[in-house]
Structure formats: C-alpha cells, structure tokens
Chains A and B, each alone.
Chain A
C-alpha cells in the first residue's frame, strides 16, 4: 500500500494522538496569541463601560462544569469589569450545576475587589424551568427567589432595595452552553424588552448571529476567542488568553489533517480513475 492510500485509511488513534500532543505542547511551552477584537464583543464591553456607578447589571450563568473551560473566562471578565466600575451585580443560574461555580467565582472576585455580598452584589441561586423563572423574574425577582442562594430574604439585602424586576436593570448578559439563550431571547428580551447580550460556546455561535442583526442581541462573546478578546478589553488577562495557545495549535492540527486528507483523496482518486475504479 502506497503512502497516500495509508493516509486515506489512517487509524483514528493517530489523529487522537496528534490532538493529544497539540493540547499538551502549549501546556509545556506556552506562548502569547495576538487577539483581534471583533465588533460583537466590543459592543458588550462598551455597553458595560458606559454604565454609571451603582447601576444594576444582571448576569445569568447558565452552564454546567462541562463548558466551564470556555465560559468561565468570560463570566470572570464581565464580573471583573462590573466590580471594577462599582456596578451592582445581580446573578442567577438556570443550570442545575451552576450554583457551585457561581459561588466559587463570585466569592473569589468579590474578595479581589473588596466587594460585599448582599451590598455590592446578589446571587439569587438556581431554579428549574428556565422559561417560567425568566417570566417570573420579569414580574418580580422575589416571585421565584424570595431569598438569595444563602437563604437571606431579598428584602433584607441592601443591594436589592429599590429593585423589583428587569425594568430596574440596565441590561442582561447570559452566559450559556445550551438553549437557555433561546429562553432569554423569547421570554426575556421578547416579553420585557431589556437589552440582552450572550456569551456562548464556539460551536453555538453560528446559531445566534441572526439575533445580532435583528437587534434582539446587542452583542455576542463566542467561545474562548471571544473570552480572550473580552479579557483583553477589560485588562484582566486570564484563562481565556491562556487557552488561545491551545486553541491555535489544536485548530492548526485539525486544518492540517483536513488538507492532508484532501490531497490524499484527490491523488488516489486520479489514480483510481485512470485504472477505471472509484474513489474511496
């Protein structure tokens, strides 16, 4: 068997090995990747940046640990920006494994920025049924969440004084790895009309660009690249920037494999056509 035929029928374990090495190499020899900020990411940064001190921003952390690598960096960048600008942050999670992650992120970032729970920010907690929870929060945050995640009644929290529902927040940013973005679009933006932006995994990005043009979303942070762009804008380099090195190497390897596969395909096809046979 010639080398091109071997390439056509390469064992998938060689591909796995190449991808494995592609993600191990940057862990040993890390390098910085230059980031070009895209307009859809810049719009979210600008939106948060133009808010006044003590304005309210609502952040929904709707993902499980499986998507943590992509979405945690953007969650941290947004909360970092909000805390640095002294905004009041209201956080919710509509993902069942979300509370643990939110608790870890908020308590760590709040300590870094000397923010006090219940005074500068509020973590509402988790409720099932995203559509119902979003619709109910549009009536009053106290309907689905009479108390915050830690069991403190919302009315006794200084941060929740004078704030009733989405009408009192400047905008909502949903960080999601599933279809909760659809619920926020339909039942949140559609019903209550608040400005909405989303942070999503890379594979989801093609599904949501349509809402950008229609004006239902004012911005999108797509995947690790979007997170790195946001970190670059905020000035808090974190895991997003670090992960760009892994992403560049892994994507390069996949692209190389695709090119190699097509070269082998055309070369063997031409040969088999001459011999009167079909291509693989």
Chain B
C-alpha cells in the first residue's frame, strides 16, 4: 500500500520536475533544427526538431526580443502564441539564420515593436501637464500627446530616447545629436 502510494507520488514529483525543467531550461533554435515559413493567414509557422529528435509543428508563433533596445538582433525568443506563451526556443544570433527566415522574423518583430523614428521635431508645446508633439517620423508626420512629469521620455542608450504617448504608442529618437540645435532645445525639457 505504502509502496503504491510512493509510486504515485514519485510520478507526481517527476511531472513537477518536468514542469520546472521546462521553465528553467533554454532551447536553442538554429538553422539546423528549425524551419520557419509563412502561413496562408499572414503569420509565421515553425517546424522545430527538439533535442530528443521529436519534431513539433507550431502553426503560429510570436517573436520577442530579449533586449529590444540594447541588442535587437540577438537573443530572439520564439514563443507559443496561446496559453502561457511558453518559449519554444531562443535564437542566439539572427545572422546565423537564412536570409528569408530573417526577413520573416524581422517583419514579425517590426509588427510587435512598432516604433516610428523621429527624424524632425517640428514643434513641441507644453501646457498644463501635457506636451503636444508635432514631429516628422520615418512613417510620416505625426502628432501625439505626452504626459509630463517624468517617465514618458526616457533614455534607452547613449543619446537614444524612447517616448511613450498617452495611447501607449512609442516613438524613438535614434540620436539626439543628429537633430538641429533648435530641435534639441525643444527637447531639453525632457532630457
């Protein structure tokens, strides 16, 4: 009786261990063990050969950057879209992948991290705790509103800044000192 009970508990423990393993272990996705392809619905699917040789097919995957600002081309996390969004594997270096795969994944990431780059600051008006921006981005002209009082504009690298507007949209200033002195002066309030 006791033995049986212990056996059951062993199994449970084993299962628990697996869950923990799943959470803590890191799978590497390389060009050898993966095939990414476009789906008819406009998403990306993955056929992935696990370490033990088992082939798994994911109809849709999502792509996250581990270091979206400081290292956007390394450590790309490929995840299941549903449920917990479990990580399928990590790509160490995008350059290791075939070109078309790269393009496919970059597309997905562009989608996720939609961040127009500010090329020109036309006008910033600060009034009553909000600032109203009128800028030219690589996606065209854009007007948006930022809440003042810290946290909305923050540095993400040397001379690089990220701006969060009221809607949760993001904008990037890739290099502050490429802007004109007049523009920098307008931004002075935030930096």
Q: Do A and B come from one complex?
A: no
Task: State the A residues within 8 Å of B (CB).
Answer: none
Task: State the B residues within 8 Å of A (CB).
Answer: none
